[in-house]
Amino acid sequence: MKMSAVKAMLSTFLVVVFIILAFTGALLYFGKTGVVWGMSRHAIRRAHLVAAVSICVAVPIHFFVNRRIYLSELRSLSSGDEK
């Protein structure tokens, strides 16, 4: 598998999981009691936890895979180059 495909899948995974994390967080914050869309508060909390752990695992991998780009951006930031 090409590295560009790995990067694209990882970035897409992070976007989808972030949306799930934000959505479940909003449900937990605004939906104080009962069942929301057929999901109990416990199920929403579990989905939120799984999404949070997934992001905590995927972000360091994302930085590792994209380390050259990230280091290049840091060098341009510290040197004051504007392109």
The one-letter code for the residue type at 68 is R
Token pair, residue 17, equals 């999981």
Report which of 67, 65, 73 is spatially closest to residue 8, judged by C-alpha positions: 65
Phi-psi region of 17 (alpha: psi -120 to 50; beta: other; left: phi over 0): alpha
- And the tokens for 43? 């199920």
What pLDDT score was predicted for residue 82?
61
pLDDT of residue 38: 80
Residue-level pLDDT at 53: 98
Q: Is the pLDDT of residue 11 over 70?
A: yes
Domain limits of the chain?
A: 3-79
pLDDT given for residue 83 in this prediction:
56
pLDDT in tens, 14-67: 999 999 999 999 988 887 777 777 888 899 999 999 999 999 999 999 999 999
pTM of the full predicted structure?
A: 0.79
What confidence score (pLDDT) does residue 80 get? Answer: 66
